[in-house]
Structure 1
Amino acid sequence: MAAQGTASQRTPSSVLYIAIYVVLVMLGNVGNTAVVGVVGEGLLRDTGFIRSSDVILVNMAFSNLMVSLARNTLLVISDMGVEVFLNKNWCRFMMGIWVWLRSANVWSTFFLSAFHFQTLRRVAPAATNVHGHPGPPKSLIFGLCLIWSLNLIYSIPAFIFSKNGDENSTETLMLVSSTTRPLLGCIWDFPSAYSGLAFATSSMVIHESIPIFLMSVTNLGSLLTLYTHGRKRRAANKSQDAPVVTGIPAERRAAKVIFALNILFISSWGASIISVNYFNYNRGSSTQFLLIVARIANITFIALSPVVLAVGHRRLRAFMKSVLSRVV
C-alpha cells in the first residue's frame, strides 16, 4: 500500500485526472448496477429456466460494484478534498473489507472463463438447469460460495494488521490486490517488514498471477475447443454421426466476449503492476504520474466490463439500446 501526502493545490493535470476518474467510477457504478439489475431480473422472472452463465455474470458484476462502491467511490470523495479519518477498529474493518472484495472480484472474473471452458468440454452443453428443479446447479452455488468464503479467510490479516494513521502518514509497502494508496487514514501495521512483504507477495501471487494465468489458459482452451468443434460441424455435413456442440455461433460469441474481458483485465493489471513497481523501486520525478496511471488502471476493468458484456448479452444489449434511444 502506497501513500502520498494531501494535495495542497489543484493543478490542471490533477483536475483532469479527477474528472477522468470520476467518469470511470460513475460508469462502473451505473454499468455494473445495470448488469445486476437486468440480468438478475431475468433470472428471477424465468423460474425453472436458470442460465448458469447469467448467475456468474451477476456475481462478477456484483463484485465489481462492491469494489467500486466500497473503495473507488470513497477515493473520489477523497480527491474532492473531503478528508475523513477513521479510528483503529473501523480501519481494521475497512481494510479487511477492501482486501476481501478485491480478491473475490479477481476470482469471480476467472470463474466466468473457467465455467465457459467447462461448458464447451461437454458434447452437448445445456443452457438450463439439468436437475429438474428451479435454481442453478448446486455445484455452481458451491463454487461461488467457495470464492467468497476462502477470500474472506485470506483477508483476515487485513482485519488484524492495520491501524489508523493521520494525514501525514506514509507507507512504502503496496498491496496490489487491495489498494494503491491509504484511504480514510488507514494504513498497514504488520509486526515486521518481512511479514508485510510476505503478505504482499502472497497477495500478488495468489490473487493476481495465478488467476490471470488460469484465465488465459481456460480462455485459449475455449477458443481451441470451438475451433475443434467447428471442424466436427463441417464434417457432420457429410456424416450425421459426428457429435457436435449445439449453438456454435452463440458459444463463439460468448468466447469472444470473455476473451475481450480477459484482455481488458490483464491490460489493467499490467499497467497497475508496472506503475506500482516503478513507484516502489524508483522514486523519480514521474512517480506522481505513474500513481495516477495505477489508479486509472485499477478502475478501467470495472468501468468498461459492463460495456463489453452488453455486446454479447441479448438482454443487456436491448436494455442499452433502449436507454440510448431515450437519451438521444
Structure 2
Amino acid sequence: MAPQKKPVNISQRITSSPFYIMLYVVLVLLGNAGNTTVIAVVGQSLLQETGTVRSSDVILVNMAFSNLMVSLLRNTVLMVSDLGVEIFLSRDMCQFMMGLWVWVRSANVWSTFFLSAFHFQTLRRVAPPVINLHGPRGPPLSLILGFCLIWSLNLIYSIPAFIFSKNGNENSTETLMLVSSTTRPLLGCIWDFPSAYSGLAFATSSMILHESIPICLMNITNLGSLCTLYAHGHKRTVASQGEDAPVVSRIPAERRAAKVILALNILFISSWGTNVISVNYFNYNRGQSTEFLLIIARFVNMSFIAFSPIILAVGHRKLRAFIKSVLSHMI
C-alpha cells in the first residue's frame, strides 16, 4: 500500500506562493519599521520636552511598543518560517514563547483601548488641565498605574500559556490558537491543556477578556467622544469669546484626534472580526473556502500592526514632519 500523503497545510501553501511571501514580508517589515518610527520620533519629543510630558504621546509610545513586540516576537518569526527556515523549539522554549505571545498580544489589545479611554476622559474635562510648573516632570501617576495594570495583569493571565504548552512535530495539525492569533502551530509549539474542557475554558475566557470586552469598550468610548465633541461644537458657537474659550478653542485639534482614534479602532475591529470569522469557519465548518479564509486570517491579523503607524502619522504633527523630511531626502 502506498504511503498516505500528508495534506498541505496553510504554511506550506503560503510558502509555495511568491505573491503571498512578498505580501507577507512587506506587511511585517512595514509594521516593524512603522512602529519603531513612532517610538523613536514620539519618544524623542518626550525626552526633549522641558515642561509637562504629554500623556497622549506616552500612550502612543506604549501602544506602538506593544505593536512592535507582537510583530517582532510573532509575525517576524512567522515570516522567517515561511521563507523556508525550519525551527522547532524544545518543550521549555515552547512554554516560554507561547506564554510570551499570549502576554504581549493581550497587552496590545488593552493598550489600544487605553488610547480611546484616555481621549474620552480628556474630552470630558470642562476646563484645561492644571499644570504645575514647579512639580516633578513626568507622566501623571494615574497613567503610570494604568500601564502597570495592563502589563502586570496580562502577565498573570498568560501564566497558563507558560505552563500548558509543548513542542509538537511536523504532523501537528492546525488547531485553535488563543487571542485571535493564527490557527497554525508555530515553531512546532502547540497547546497541551489537561483536557479539552480546560483548553476551551481558557480560549473562551481569552475571547471574552481580551477580545469582546475591550472592543465593546472601544465602541462605547468612541461614541462618547463623538457625542462630547458634538456638544462642544455647539458650545463653541455660543461661547467663542467667553470664559469657556480655552476649552472650545481646542475643539479642532480634539476633533482631528478623535478621527485618528476612530480610524485606529475601525481598523482594529475589522481585522479582529475578519480573523475571528475565518478561524471559526476553519474550526467548525472546513468547507471549500477554508484555505482562502485561513490565508485571509493570516494577513488581516497583521493589518492593524502594519497600518496603524500610517494612521498615526496622519494625525500627529511631529510624525508627519519626520516622514516629510525623510521623503524629501529620498526624492
Residues 285-320 of structure 1: CA deviation (Å, up to 9, x unaligned): 321211110010110000000000000100000011
The answer to whether the 8 Å contact 1:163/1:187 transfers is yes
Equivalent of 2:217 in 193, 202, 214:
214
In 2, Cα distance between the equivalents of 1:9 and 1:143? 39
Gap runs ≥5 in structure 2: 1-7
In 2, Cα distance between the equivalents of 1:130 and 1:104? 33
1:66-77 residue pairs with structure 2 within 5 A?
A: 66-77=69-80
Equivalent of 1:199 in 199, 202, 226:
202
Instruction: Give the AA of the match of 1:16.
Output: F
Give the superposition deviation at 1:19.
1.0
In 2, Cα distance between the equivalents of 1:129 and 1:15? 57
Give the superposition deviation at 1:9.
9.0
Instruction: Give the AA of the match of 1:80.
Output: L
Equivalent of 1:53 in 26, 51, 56:
56
The answer to whether the 8 Å contact 2:28/2:76 transfers is yes
Give the superposition deviation at 1:170.
1.8
Instruction: Give the AA of the match of 1:272.
Output: N
**Which residue of 1 is the match for residue 121 of structure 2?**
118
| Equivalent residue pairs, number | 323
Q: Secondary structure at the match of 1:123?
A: coil
Q: Secondary structure at the match of 2:190?
A: strand
Instruction: Give the AA of the match of 2:33.
Output: V
Q: Secondary structure at the match of 2:138?
A: coil
In 2, Cα distance between the equivalents of 1:85 and 1:236? 66
In 2, Cα distance between the equivalents of 1:268 and 1:129? 41
**Which residue of 1 is the match for residue 294 of structure 2?**
291
1:146-295 residue pairs with structure 2 within 5 A?
A: 146-237=149-240, 240=242, 244-295=247-298
What's the RMSD between the two structures over aligned residues? 1.9
Question: Structure 2 length normalisation: TM-score?
Answer: 0.93
Instruction: Give the AA of the match of 1:226.
Output: L
The answer to whether the 8 Å contact 1:268/1:297 transfers is yes
The answer to whether the 8 Å contact 2:164/2:192 transfers is yes
Q: Secondary structure at the match of 2:193?
A: coil
Gap runs ≥5 in structure 1: none
Change in Cα spacing, 1:128 to 1:204, as seen in structure 2 (3 Å) is farther
In 2, Cα distance between the equivalents of 1:10 and 1:314? 40
In 2, Cα distance between the equivalents of 1:294 and 1:116? 30
Identity %: 74
The answer to whether the 8 Å contact 1:24/1:303 transfers is yes
Give the superposition deviation at 1:169.
1.1
Residues 85-124 of structure 1: CA deviation (Å, up to 9, x unaligned): 0110000000000000000000000000000000011012
In 1, Cα distance between the equivalents of 2:73 and 2:134? 37
Equivalent of 1:15 in 18, 21, 33:
18
The answer to whether the 8 Å contact 1:31/1:306 transfers is yes
In 2, Cα distance between the equivalents of 1:311 and 1:67? 23
The answer to whether the 8 Å contact 1:129/1:135 transfers is no
Instruction: Give the AA of the match of 1:104.
Output: A
Change in Cα spacing, 1:207 to 1:10, as seen in structure 2 (3 Å) is closer
Residues 208-255 of structure 1: CA deviation (Å, up to 9, x unaligned): 111011001101111110110111111114x72557444111111000
Give the superposition deviation at 1:18.
1.5
Give the superposition deviation at 1:127.
8.9
Residues 22-62 of structure 1: CA deviation (Å, up to 9, x unaligned): 10000000000000000000101113330000000000000
The answer to whether the 8 Å contact 2:175/2:184 transfers is no
Instruction: Give the AA of the match of 2:150.
Output: I
Q: Secondary structure at the match of 1:187?
A: strand
The answer to whether the 8 Å contact 2:51/2:133 transfers is no
